[in-house]
């Protein structure tokens, strides 16, 4: 009987070794893949904002708790800025051609890995300008 218990113990120990090695291997593989293929923190603007041709076709379907779907469609593009002389925010509609020009100007821009204090200061104002796509 002693041999049966020791054989069972060895089989359980070997099974735990295999499971542990599998888990450890999966963790190591995951870490290597994240290190090699993870986010670089560098993004191209044209991959973030919609292309002008897509705006008119933009439809987002959002199923709610009932069996009905809510469909959101493109409703316009607006530029919000702060008018210091009037001390108020201004909402300026952006036409399709203007949006196309904006997209063409910034499409090749990429995010910065190191941001200078000058750029941080420009975005730290109390009233930053915002381009909004309304759906």
Question: Can you give 68-127 as a three-state secondary structure string?
Answer: CEEEEECCEEEEEEEECCCCEEEEEEECHHHHHHHHHHHCCCECCCCCCHHHHHHHCCCC
Instruction: Write down the pTM of the prediction.
Output: 0.59
Q: How many residues does the chain have?
A: 135
Q: Is 59 helix (H, G, I), strand (E, B) or coil?
A: strand
pLDDT value, residue 1: 44
Question: Does 2 have pLDDT greater than 70?
Answer: no
Least confident of 9-13, 59-63, 82-86, 104-108: 59-63
Task: Give kind and range of the element (H or E) at residue 10.
Answer: helix 2-37
């Amino acid at each position: 009987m002693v041999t049966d218990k020791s054989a069972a113990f060895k089989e359980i120990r070997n099974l735990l070794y295999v499971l542990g090695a599998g888990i450890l291997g999966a963790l190591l593989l995951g870490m290597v893949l994240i290190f090699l293929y993870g986010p670089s923190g560098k993004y191209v603007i044209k991959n973030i904002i919609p292309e002008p041709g897509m705006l008119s076709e933009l439809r987002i379907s959002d199923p709610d708790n009932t069996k009905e779907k809510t469909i959101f469609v493109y409703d316009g593009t607006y530029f919000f800025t702060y008018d210091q002389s009037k001390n108020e925010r201004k909402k300026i509609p952006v036409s399709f051609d203007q949006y196309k020009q904006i997209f063409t100007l910034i499409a090749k821009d990429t995010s910065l890995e190191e941001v200078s204090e000058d750029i941080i200061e420009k975005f730290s104002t109390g009233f930053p300008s915002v381009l909004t796509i309304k759906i």
